[in-house]
């Protein structure tokens, strides 16, 4: 009788043990980390997440950081800081003026550099020829004597000037400047570049892109203080202090949101600094009429709902974004400004 009782007790104990192991192996479908953390971060073994890798604070279209230009600043001042986008803007204006004068007449163009312009801006003549040559209405000539108009590129101080001269009176008077465009000192010296950022509709379908301007380099100590000539980056500021400085630049400038920063990074038009390996970046505000359109929720793994009380810190060493409170600051944390162009 005692042996039977022991067998029954042993069987019940084994059954209870196996039942407990089964419960431990079951994957909970309820997240234990709260609503702030994605489900698959809390429950990576869930069947829902078997084929899905979720990495917070990243864009899924560059999970291995390909296409990111992690370059450090080589200080550029004056007209040398003008970007390709800014130069193309002026060439577009020049062509539109020529079109208006030509009134559908065939016109041939010749490009000529004058003075130091093409020595100070690398590949400037080739860039100009490529842009003009891609226009179907005009022919690009390699011989000045065969051209109707001569497009002259020159510098006036820190101002880059494009001028189209009518050689023989084809669309204007002989020797007349029929078109003129210039990249001004203000744009060139401030070091702002144009960046195009894709947008999405409510169904995450691509929509018309938007354009923003962003500082090529970090805000310097002399720019921040308004005195001296130091090119070292201004570091050790809070998010609020960075916002205040940017707003003083006008045009509703603020530190760049993560979408503007990311696409400027991919285009290689911004650089870090060896004295500032980290940088303040804003979370895009999903409630904002403009910034909300930049977010693709299928691709952009950021907690955009926290844009008002948190910020991102970008590492120029690793290419990663980390989240932080906006009150955080440290000695190697720099910043720059950006604004939307309507």
Domains (ranges, CATH) in the chain? Answer: 80-188 (3.30.2300), 191-341 (3.10.100)
Best CA proximity match to 124, nearest among 169, 172, 79, 164: 79
Q: Which residue has the tokens 């894709």?
A: 198
Looking at per-residue pLDDT, the higher value among 16 and 307 belongs to 307
**9 band by pLDDT with thresholds 50, 70 and 90:** low
**52 band by pLDDT with thresholds 50, 70 and 90:** low
Q: How far apart are CA 269 and CA 216, in angstroms?
A: 6
Q: State percent of the chain over pLDDT 90.
A: 54
- What rounded mean pLDDT belongs to the chain? 82
Sequence-ordered strand ranges (E) for 48-148: 58-59, 107-113, 138-140
For range 12-33, the mean pLDDT: 44
How is residue 83 written in tokens? Answer: 């970007």
Helix (H) or strand (E) holding 210: strand 206-215
For range 6-16, the mean pLDDT: 51
Best CA proximity match to 287, nearest among 311, 259, 302, 306: 306
pLDDT at 78 over 90: no
Span 286-337, pLDDT tens digits = 999 999 999 999 899 999 999 999 999 999 999 999 999 998 888 889 999 9
Q: How far apart are CA 222 and CA 241, in angstroms?
A: 16
**CA-based angle 156:161:167, to the nearest 5?**
115
Span 124-178, pLDDT tens digits = 999 999 999 998 889 999 999 999 999 999 998 778 999 999 999 999 999 999 9
pLDDT of residue 65: 61
């Amino acid at each position: 009788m005692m042996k039977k009782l022991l067998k029954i007790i042993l069987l019940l104990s084994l059954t209870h043990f196996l039942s407990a192991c089964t419960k431990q192996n079951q994957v909970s479908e309820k997240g234990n980390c709260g609503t702030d953390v994605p489900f698959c971060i809390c429950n990576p073994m869930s069947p829902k997440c078997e084929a899905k890798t979720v990495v917070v604070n990243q864009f899924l279209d560059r999970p291995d950081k390909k296409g990111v230009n992690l370059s450090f600043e080589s200080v550029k001042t004056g007209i040398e800081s003008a970007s390709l986008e800014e130069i193309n803007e002026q060439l577009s204006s020049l062509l539109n003026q020529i079109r208006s004068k030509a009134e559908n007449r065939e016109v041939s163009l010749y490009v000529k550099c004058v003075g130091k312009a093409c020595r100070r801006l690398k590949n400037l003549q080739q860039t100009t020829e490529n842009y003009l040559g891609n226009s179907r209405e005009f022919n690009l000539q390699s011989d000045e004597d065969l051209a109707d108009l001569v497009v002259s590129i020159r510098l006036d101080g820190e101002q880059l000037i494009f001028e189209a001269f009518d050689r023989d009176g084809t669309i204007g008077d002989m020797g007349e400047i029929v078109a003129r465009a210039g990249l001004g000192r203000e744009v060139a010296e401030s070091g702002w570049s144009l960046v195009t950022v894709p947008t999405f509709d409510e169904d995450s379908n691509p929509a018309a892109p938007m354009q923003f301007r962003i500082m090529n380099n970090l805000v310097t100590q002399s720019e921040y203080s308004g005195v001296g000539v130091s090119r070292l980056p201004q570091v050790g500021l809070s998010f609020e202090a960075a916002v205040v400085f940017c707003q003083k630049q006008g045009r509703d400038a603020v530190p760049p949101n993560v979408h503007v920063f990311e696409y400027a990074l991919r285009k290689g038009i911004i650089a870090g600094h060896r004295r500032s390996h980290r940088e303040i970046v804003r979370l895009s505000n999903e409630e904002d009429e403009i910034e909300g359109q930049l977010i693709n929720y299928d691709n952009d793994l950021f907690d955009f709902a926290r844009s008002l009380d948190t910020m991102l810190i970008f590492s120029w060493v690793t290419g990663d974004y980390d989240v932080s409170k906006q009150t955080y600051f440290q000695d190697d944390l720099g910043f720059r400004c950006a604004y939307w162009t309507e």
